[in-house]
Every structure is written in structure tokens, then in C-alpha cells.
Homo-oligomer: A and B are copies of this chain.
């Protein structure tokens, strides 16, 4: 089992862009989120992954597997209706760690969230000036919840 130790922050302003070293467009969707377990598909140009995460906030068990991109695209289209989103992920090194700044699109346009994976739960994080309110433990900002929020209204 892997362990994911991740903190998440809302992002203030655009000054992080000056430090960004790369970007890629991601489409992701959720086959399920039940009882704290999420099953996520993520597709980027030429690669796809299936990621299973267990319950938790800061620290979550995580299992991650490569998938054939064509099959991931099919599943995103057919099986993740109402539970998918598009975003551009920017790599922003800061304080010895790689931050990932996600700029959401579509119904979530305007929302920007920064994530950083910690080497251990007690790691003392050096916050960049553009890191706003922490949302690590706020279920409204869990990406699976955002994916549902991004869905067009039914009917």
C-alpha cells in the first residue's frame, strides 16, 4: 500500500505563475466515492491512471495503476457522467517541494487549488505567499466533491 500525505490550499492571485515550471491538461472522473473510498480515473495526453484512495484527510491509503488511455477515455465518457472535471495542472516548486496548482475549467472556472505532497505527516511546510485558506480537511473541496459540483444540473 502507498500512503498519500497531502495538504491543499485555496490560491490567492496569480503570482505563482512566475514560478511555474510546467503544465498539463487533465481530465478526471470518479467511478465511485462511497464510504470514504474513491475510485478515480485520470487522463492526460498519452497516459492514464486509475487511483483508489481510502478514507482520510491529510493521510490516505492510496493504490495507483496505469490504464490504457483509450479505455480510460471511454470510461470517463460512459461511466463518470456527472462526476468528472477538467483542469490544467501547473508544477510550481517552492520550499524544496513540488506544488501542483490546479486551475479548474468549465462550471468550476475561477477555482484554483494548490496541492503539495509531504514526505511525512509532520513535515514543516514552508507556505508560499499565494497559498490562501487550507482546505485539506474540508470535504467541500475534495476533488471528488468538486467533480459532482461540476456536473450540469440534471433534467
Residues of chain A having any CB pair with chain B under 8 Å = 1, 31-35, 37, 39, 50, 52, 54, 61, 63, 65, 67, 71, 74-75, 78-79, 82
- Give the chain B neighbours of A67 by CB distance below 8 A: 65
CB-nearest residue of chain B to A34: B32
Choose from B35, B50, B79 the contact partner of A37 (Cβ within 8 Å). Answer: B79
- Assembly of this chain: how many copies? 2
- Give the chain B neighbours of A31 by CB distance below 8 A: 32, 34, 37, 39, 52
Instruction: For residue A18, give the distance in angstroms from its CB to the closest CB of chain B.
Output: 40
Contacting pair A74 B1 (CB below 8 A): yes
Contacts A1-B71, A39-B39, A71-B1 hold; do A61 and B78 have CB atoms under 8 A apart?
yes
Other A-B pairs beyond A31-B32, A54-B78, 10, CB < 8 Å: A1-B71, A1-B74, A1-B78, A31-B39, A32-B32, A32-B39, A35-B82, A37-B79, A52-B79, A61-B79
